[in-house]
């Protein structure tokens, strides 16, 4: 295996509000194993690819692509590669500010979150850690801002929308409330603080189709209602529903109803 590690332990001091001892990317193989009875910092690890296992508080978690796990200061833990490969990006953070942020945003000390959309923040952390033009203090200040954003996402997933109603229902409500706008899955995922793949999989499990297929079907139902109950032209309906052209609207309509808008209206 190999690791790209950026080490700053020489700068760690109890007088600093923020300490970033290390950050890096690990390309693990079947020999990879880390086991500690305790650790004096917090660690955030995000899985890019492959599978691993994380153990803490007497529980074992299977970790896959898109999963994030948190190591809390002072807690025993163990993690290792589950199969042949496991690629993960991680950061170690300590200091009084880190204590305050973790207490504020992860009071229940959640160990693992699935589908947390934080890869861009983690990549920014690695970019900062590898930037030799920054002083340690400048780098640490910028990294803690990204850690803050990660913890905000984590809190929203654990205590916000995902806890008050099913994620599948939240996705459906988002689509229903935005039918007259283009559906951009990256924006939907960002608004719900999950990865795009997790959004698609959860919705498919709950409703038997992808979010986009549901979005298109609902738009067609609106179109059929407008064709029957109004005298609006096909071009007007197409534009209202956000289609690129009346021709594309007609093609989608025929796919859903087996008839062109013209035939559908004349038969009603």
Task: Provide the pLDDT confidence category of residue 268 given band limits of 50, 70 and 90.
Answer: low
**102 pLDDT more than 60:** yes
Q: What is the pLDDT of residue 180?
A: 86
Characterize 80-118 residue by residue with b for buried, 16 or more Cβ atoms within 10 angstroms of its Cβ, and e for exposed: bbbeebbbbbbbbbbbebbeebbeebbeeebbbbbbbbb
Q: What is the pLDDT of residue 63?
A: 94
pLDDT tens, position by position, 16-63: 999 999 999 999 999 999 999 999 999 999 999 999 999 999 999 999
What angle, 0 to 180 degrees and rounded to 10, lies between the N-to-C axes of helices 136-159 and 96-105? Answer: 10
The alpha carbon torsion through 190, 194, 196, 198 (nearest 10 deg) reads: -160
**161 pLDDT more than 70:** no
Indicate the pTM of the whole model.
0.64
Task: Provide the pLDDT confidence category of residue 229 given band limits of 50, 70 and 90.
Answer: confident
Give the N- to C-terminal CA distance of the chain in Å, as an integer.
Answer: 67
**212 pLDDT more than 90:** yes
Domain 2-159: assigned CATH number? 2.60.120.280
Question: Is residue 184 packed enough to be buried (19+ CB in 10 Å), middle (13-18) or exposed (0-12)?
Answer: exposed
Q: What are the domain boundaries of the chain?
A: 2-159, 165-268
Mean pLDDT of the chain: 91
**133 pLDDT more than 70:** yes
Q: What is the pLDDT of residue 118?
A: 95
> Comparing 202 with 5, which gets the higher pLDDT?
5
Task: Provide the pLDDT confidence category of residue 240 given band limits of 50, 70 and 90.
Answer: confident
Q: Which architecture characterizes domain 165-268 according to CATH? A: Orthogonal Bundle (1.10)
Task: Provide the pLDDT confidence category of residue 164 given band limits of 50, 70 and 90.
Answer: very low
Task: Provide the pLDDT confidence category of residue 165 given band limits of 50, 70 and 90.
Answer: low
Q: What is the pLDDT of residue 160?
A: 55
Question: Is residue 250 packed enough to be buried (19+ CB in 10 Å), middle (13-18) or exposed (0-12)?
Answer: middle
């Amino acid at each position: 295996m190999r690791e790209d590690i950026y080490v700053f332990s020489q700068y760690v001091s109890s007088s600093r509000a923020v300490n970033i001892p290390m950050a890096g990317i690990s390309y693990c193989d079947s020999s990879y194993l880390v086991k500690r009875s305790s650790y004096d910092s917090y660690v955030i690890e995000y899985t890019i690819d492959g599978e691993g296992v994380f153990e803490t508080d007497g529980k074992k978690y299977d970790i896959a692509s898109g999963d994030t796990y948190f190591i809390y200061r002072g807690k025993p833990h163990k993690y290792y590669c589950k199969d042949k490969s496991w690629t993960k990006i991680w950061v170690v953070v300590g200091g009084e500010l880190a204590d305050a942020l973790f207490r504020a945003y992860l009071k229940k000390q959640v160990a693992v979150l699935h589908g947390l959309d934080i890869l861009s923040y983690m990549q920014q952390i690695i970019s900062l850690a590898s930037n030799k033009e920054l002083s340690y203090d400048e780098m640490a200040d910028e990294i803690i801002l990204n850690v803050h954003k990660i913890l905000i996402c984590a809190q929203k997933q654990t205590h916000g929308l995902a806890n008050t109603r099913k994620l599948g229902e939240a996705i459906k409500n988002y689509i229903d409330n935005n039918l007259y706008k283009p559906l951009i899955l990256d924006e939907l995922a960002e608004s719900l603080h999950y990865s795009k793949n997790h959004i698609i999989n959860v919705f498919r499990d709950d409703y038997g189709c992808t979010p986009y297929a549901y979005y298109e079907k609902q738009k067609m139902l609106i179109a059929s209602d407008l064709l029957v109950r109004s005298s609006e032209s096909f071009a007007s309906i197409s534009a209202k529903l956000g289609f690129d052209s009346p021709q594309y609207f007609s093609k989608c309509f025929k796919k859903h109803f087996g008839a062109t808008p013209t035939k559908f209206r004349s038969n009603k």
